[in-house]
Amino acid sequence: MSYLTSSPIDVASLLLEARDSDGALCLFLGVVRNENEGRPTTGIQYEAYGSMAETEMERIARLLATEFPDVELRMQHRVGRLSVGEASVAVVALSPHRSEAFAACRAAIDRIKTTVPIWKKEFHPDGSSHWVDPTKK
């Protein structure tokens, strides 16, 4: 399965089939909001450097597998034009106990946001748009 998808993220299928030893599942969903930094938003265009984003998410998965050996991790990031309320990213962490499930899920989404080459252009009610720069806050 690839980490990027241009179709709506199928959350139900990401949740399926825990291992018999899994007692905990933590899912994180990033959802398109109706505002950002105080400005109303009507939608977001996600653009990826696709081949590198796949490589980078694979690298994140490999590192987290070392840091959390009991955790099974599933990640998917959507690309394309999304409306308010749609999921842009999903991370699922399954593990025997809940502490590692929460920690691995949180670490995964934090790293995805930091290193995976994906960009977003926000659209506003007045028709204008701009590329989001998280380093300028």
Residue 1, class by beta-carbon neighbours within 10 Å (0-12 exposed, 13-18 middle, 19+ buried)? exposed
Number of residues that bind its own copies (CB under 8 A): 30
**Residue 26: which of another protein, its own copies, none does it interact with, CB under 5 to 8 A by kind?**
its own copies
Rule CB under 8 A: is residue 52 a binding residue for its own copies?
A: no
Interaction pattern, residues 63-102, with its own copies; x per rule: CB under 8 A: ---------------------xx-x--------x-x--xx
**Residue 35: which of its own copies, another protein, none does it interact with, CB under 5 to 8 A by kind?**
its own copies
